[in-house]
Amino acid sequence: MNSAPDHSLNMLVRKLESVAPLSHDERQAIQSLPVMTRILQPGQDIVRDGGQPSQCCLVLDGWTARYKLLSEGRRQILSFHIPGDIPDLQSLHLAVMDHSLCSMTVSTVAFIPHESLRDLTARFPGLAAALWRDTLIDAAIFREWMIGIGRKSAHGRIAHLFCEMYLKLHAVGLADHHRMPWPLTQIDIGDALGLSNVHVNRVLQNLRNQKLIILDRRNLTMGDWEGLSEMGEFDPVYLHLERRAAA
Amino acid sequence: MSLHLQPVRVATSSDDSESQLVFAEGFLVAMLVHLSEQHEDDAGRWFLEAGFGRIPSRDHPTFLDLDEAQTWIRQQLGNAYVS
């Protein structure tokens, strides 16, 4: 563990500014939070189901995911998180974790003590409101995923996930021109969207053949944003972004 | 329990088309699809595309060959009768 340089918290500033305006003092207050950074290998647990953390985890680099393990080793991924996200922010107010959080890629994370976050939100109600707004958007994303898993085809679910991750990455400056890093495996996608590996593979091949996506190494280019949006019935309103990506 | 297989071609919107319907005592209980080359490591395996009645298709397992698939299907039918 190392003390993080101040600029690591710029990622949180950038994230919160994508969903709410911040004042100069609020930005300064975030940047002076004490944090400890750690580098994680893929598949490492950050917080476990049932744990009682005393700190929150800010993602600085890489992708993380919330998940729940079921019987017979079945895994349901609940959400994907990118730099700027605090996926376990709920632990600030809910003492016991009701799911786990892990790294999906090599990741750098910064741990912020609960005490410091409580102090920050007491001193800056605007920041408390911004974090609340982020939590509400998190809930909105869950509603969209519920619609997908409950009512959309495999094509629709996967297209929707591509559109959502692109806009989230774009909002924090990590994707542009309909091209984004794509570190997830087919199994990860299946575990998130309730699809078998075979179905995910068929859909991806189909989207490739239709030139809707180009997957090269660990990048995904969306060849037809409109086509994918339509296929996924994607309406970005639920992301409530301050500065919407020019799609 | 004896199972009866019937080859069919199935439309999966992919290269996977070779399929077997699986009947148990005259009832259709499963559809197995032979995975094509597009599945790389899984190519050649048999995929439970659909299960009916007592065959759970929630996790869509794959099997090395039709014998392994039939053994699994018999187990599921047997388990169901016991429970």
Alpha carbon of residue A11 to chain centroid: 13
Query: B31-47 pLDDT, tens per residue?
Result: 999 999 999 999 999 99
Confidence bin at A52 (pLDDT 50/70/90): very high
For residues A167 and A103, state if they share a domain: no
| pLDDT score, position A7 | 66
Claim to verify: residue A77 and residue A187 sit in the same structural domain: no
In sign, the C-alpha dihedral spanning B37, B38, B43, B49 is: negative
Contact of B11 with B26, CB cutoff 8 Å? no
Q: Is residue A144 part of a domain?
A: no
Q: Which of B14, B59, B62 sits opposite A202 (nearest CB)?
A: B14
CATH number, position A25? 2.60.120.10
Determine the pLDDT at residue A243.
Answer: 62
Over residues A71-96, the mean pLDDT reads: 95
User: Taking Cα atoms as reference points, which of B41, B54, B76, B13 lies closest to residue A197?
Assistant: B41
Q: A77 and A194: one domain?
A: no
In this predicted structure, the answer to whether residue A217 has a pLDDT above a threshold of 70 is yes
- Spatial separation of the C-alpha atoms in residues A244 and A18, rounded to whole Å: 9
Last residue of a domain, one of A116, A138, A160: A138
Asked whether residue B62 carries a pLDDT value surpassing 80, the answer given is yes
Name which of A18-27, A115-124, A235-244 the model is least confident about. A235-244
> Taking Cα atoms as reference points, which of A117, A118, A101, A132 lies closest to residue A16?
A132
- Given a cut of 70, whether residue A6 has pLDDT beyond it is no
Domain span holding position A161: 152-239
Are A106 and A23 part of one and the same domain? yes
| Last residue within a domain, chosen from A96, A114, A138 | A138
Q: Are residues A165 and A230 in the same domain?
A: yes
- A181 and A230, same structural domain? yes
pLDDT band for position A73 (cuts 50, 70, 90): confident
Q: How many domains does chain A have?
A: 2
Residues A91 and A193 in one domain: no
Dihedral sign of CA atoms A156, A79, A32, A6 in order: negative
Give me the total of CB pairs closer than 8 Å, taking one residue from chain A and one from chain B: 26
Q: Which residues of B touch A206 (CB under 8 A)?
A: 13-14
% of chain A beyond a pLDDT of 90: 91
- Is A146 among the domain residues? no
Of A196, A197, A205, the CB nearest to B38: A205
Q: Measured between alpha carbons, how far is A159 from A212 in angstroms, rounded to an integer?
A: 9
Under an 8 A CB cutoff, do B62 and A74 touch? no
Residue A244 located in a structural domain:
no
Domain identity same for A79 and A56: yes
Rg (CA), chain B: 12
Residues A35, A131, single domain; the answer is yes
Please name the residue of chain A whose CA is at the shortest distance from the CA of residue B59: A196
> Does residue A223 lie within any of the structural domains?
yes
**Who's near A24: CB < 8 A, 6+ residues apart?**
none
pLDDT of residue A2: 46
Residue A97 has pLDDT above 80, yes or no: yes
pLDDT tens digits for A163-212? Answer: 999 999 999 999 999 999 999 999 999 999 999 999 999 999 999 999 99
* A104 and A23 housed in the same domain: yes
Cross-chain residue pair B38–A196, CB shorter than 8 Å: no
3-state secondary structure of A98: coil
The whole-angstrom separation of Cα B39 and Cα A128 is: 48
Model confidence at A90, pLDDT cuts 50, 70, 90, reads very high
Contacts B42 to A, Cβ<8 Å: 197-198
Q: What's the confidence (pLDDT) of residue A106?
A: 97
| Contact by Cβ (8 Å): B29, B23 | yes
Is A247 a domain residue?
Answer: no
**Closest residue in chain B to residue A190, using alpha carbons only:** B59
Q: pLDDT band at B80, cuts 50/70/90?
A: low
Min CA distance, B16 vs chain A (Å)? Answer: 9
Q: Which of A79, A111, A138 is the last residue of a domain?
A: A138
The two three-digit tokens of residue A2, written as one number: 């190392």
ipTM: 0.90
User: Which residues does A contribute to its contact with B (CB < 8 Å)?
Assistant: 72, 74, 196-199, 201-202, 205-206
Looking at the predicted structure, is the pLDDT value of residue A246 above 80?
no
Interface test with A, best of B10, B12, B13, B18 (most A CBs within 10 A): B13
Please check whether residues A104 and A164 belong to one and the same domain. no
- Residue A134 domain flag: yes
The rounded distance, in Å, linking the Cα atoms of A192 and A245 is 24
> Which CATH number does the domain housing residue A162 bear?
1.10.10.10
Of B14, B69, B20, B44, the C-alpha closest to A201 is B14
Residue A42, in any domain of the structure: yes
Does A246 fall in a domain? no
Report the alpha-carbon distance of residue A108 to residue A114 in Å, rounded. Answer: 19
Do A82 and A12 lie in one domain? The reply is yes
Tell me which residues of chain B have a C-beta less than 8 Å from any C-beta of chain A.
12-16, 35, 38-39, 42, 47, 59-60, 62
